Amino acid sequence: MAGPQGLTGRSTILDVAAAAGVSRQTVTRAMNGMPDISTTTKERVLAAADRLGYRPSRFGRGLATGGDPQLGLLVEDLTNPYFPELAAAIVRKAGARGWTVLLAEGTGAPAGALEALEGQTDAVVGHFGPRADRWLDRPGGAPVVGLDVRADATHPGVRFDRAAAVNELTEHLVRAGVRRPAVLDASPDGTPSERGALLVEAFQRLGTRCRLLGGDGEDAARGAADSAALLASPDRPDAIVAFNDLMALGVLSTCRRAGVDVPGEVRVAGIDGLPVGALVAPTLTTLAVDLDAVAREAVDLAIALRDGAPADGPDARRTVHSRLVVRESA
């Protein structure tokens, strides 16, 4: 095998050219199926390339051609079906606009993951929680679009407005006779989440006191465990609203195991609007967010920012409204 060289230790276009006894641009022609090359030469070049295990450098090519733009998508936890659903929507919208998607999972260390992503992409989209403002406008950083950003956030992002849907849900529940609702919140740092606070307030406006149960996870296991505790407590709630659908699924499985009838004894609802919610028994009532709309806005905003739109302009904040989907569980 002839001598591969260079930074990567792989053979380059020059190695192939030398091996085939042609110039580099003839190699380009052969590799890219371009015209103006004789069949004989082409075969000789391809053979040499194969022999050397030559693969064009995407950096070299990108530098010369511009290359396809890449969108970084930072998700918290691919194990929660919400994020794959989001990723699917983003991949489709981005693809339609000629962008490819680089996927990273920011388990625990979103800052590090974000920085790594930024170096390889032209814009980044993701859920960053309340700390997102810190990352905006990092020198040399890619434009960052936050998802489900708080109302008072100052950086570009898509806001999930759940106010109306939350009101509908609480009214629906109270009208159905709910008097002792509980919210299974996710609050890693102790302070209630925006969704949690919204629910408590909405119940309050209806004259109904609502328990808020914080905690440090947001998966099905936590939903199952915490709802088990709740159901065993002296004043068992007659409704449980979970921080997300995944936790709500955990709640449902606990109820089933404990022989607690849903919605007869306890009404259960989630947040997100995952398709699986329609497959379980009983089917899950939820506050659904339109991920297609979210993806459309997020991708559009990311591209606009990359193209120089101001990060503090009015167009840098988008809003998508959630809606109540009533199914069997509540």
What residue ranges bind a copy of itself (CB under 8 A)? 7-8, 30-32, 46, 49-50, 53-63, 65-68, 70, 73, 78-79, 81, 83-85, 87-88, 91-92, 95, 100-105, 116-117, 119-122, 137, 139-142, 220, 249-250, 252-253, 256, 275-276, 278-281, 308
CB of 69 to DNA, least distance (A): 14
Q: Please check whether residue 296 is in contact with residue 270, taking contact to mean a CB–CB distance below 8 angstroms.
A: no
Of residues 44 through 63, those in contact with DNA by CB under 7 A are: 54-57, 59-61, 63
CB of 275 to DNA, least distance (A): 41
Element spanning 270, H or E: strand 267-272
Residue 105: how many CA atoms within 13 Å on its side-chain side?
Answer: 7
Identify which of residues 21 and 95 has a Cβ nearer to a copy of itself in the complex. Answer: 95
CB of 56 to DNA, least distance (A): 4
Q: Please check whether residue 75 is in contact with residue 86, taking contact to mean a CB–CB distance below 8 angstroms.
A: yes
Identify which of residues 198 and 248 has a Cβ nearer to a copy of itself in the complex. Answer: 248
CB of 84 to a copy of itself, least distance (A): 3
Q: Is 65 an interacting residue with respect to DNA (CB under 7 A)?
A: yes
Of residues 17 through 46, those in contact with DNA by CB under 7 A are: 21-29, 31-32, 35-38, 40-42
Alpha-carbon distance 233 to 186, whole Å?
20
List, in order, residues 6 or more apart from 33 with CB less than 8 Å away.
none
Q: Which of 51, 28, 30 lies closest to 39, judged by CA?
A: 30
Instruction: From the list DNA, a copy of itself, none, pick the one residue 154 interacts with, judged by a Cβ distance below 5 to 8 Å according to partner type.
Output: none
Tell me the site size for DNA, rule CB under 7 A: 36
CB neighbourhood size of 257 (10 A): 10
Identify which of residues 92 and 172 has a Cβ nearer to a copy of itself in the complex. Answer: 92
Burial per residue of 42-63, b for 16 or more beta-carbon CB atoms within 10 angstroms, e otherwise: bebbbebbeebebebeeeeeee
List, in order, residues 6 or more apart from 87 with CB less than 8 Å away.
73, 75, 78, 101, 103
Binds DNA by CB under 7 A, chosen from 1, 3, 33, 64: 64
